[in-house]
Amino acid sequence: MINWRINSFDELTTLDLYKIAYERIRTFVIAQDRPYQEIDETDLIARHILGYQDGELVAYARVFTDEGGVTFGRVLTIPERRGQGLGRQLVQQIEGEIARHFGKCPIFIEAQIDKQHFYEKFGYVAEGPVFDFNGSPHIRMTKPALVQA
């Protein structure tokens, strides 16, 4: 059973911050061999979605507004728990948070190209050419607002 929490930056504990940094660096910098500034100023304004299981951070993402819409990123499940449906549950948590706080905004993401088909299952549509983001190919994907005006 996953215990889901959603916090602003100020609501995160120091242990949460450590676990978030640890897993994001392990996933996006070390495993993907992409040396870049992983912790950034977006963390200060984002809503952080944390999935804990037995005291261990097993899933994470952040949601924030940008460019007239809402977006999310740094989506991860830890390697030891992949293939168990956590990614699907995490996207459900993300979209629930978007519906509650940003429901009338269109959604756009910059997805790693190898995750495009995963996001298509949730109704995201690829737009434009593939581009490089911090050393890996990404594609912009969009979805209409979850709550219609």
pLDDT in tens, 118-143: 999 999 999 999 999 988 999 999 99
Largest CA distance in the chain: 42
CA–CA separation, 68 and 77 (whole Å): 28
pTM of the full predicted structure? Answer: 0.94
- C-alpha of 84 from chain center: 17
Is it the case that residue 75 has pLDDT exceeding 80? Answer: yes
Contact 7, 16 (CB under 8 A): yes
Q: What is the mean pLDDT of the chain?
A: 95
What confidence score (pLDDT) does residue 149 get?
60
**Structural domains of the chain sorted by starting position, each given as residue range(s) with its CATH number in brackets:** 3-143 (3.40.630.30)
Other C-beta atoms closer than 10 Å to the C-beta of 30 total 11
- Provide Rg for the chain, Cα atoms: 15
pLDDT, tens only, 97-123: 999 999 899 999 999 999 999 999 999
Neighbour tally for 114: CB within 10 Å: 10
- DSSP-derived 3-state class of residue 135: coil
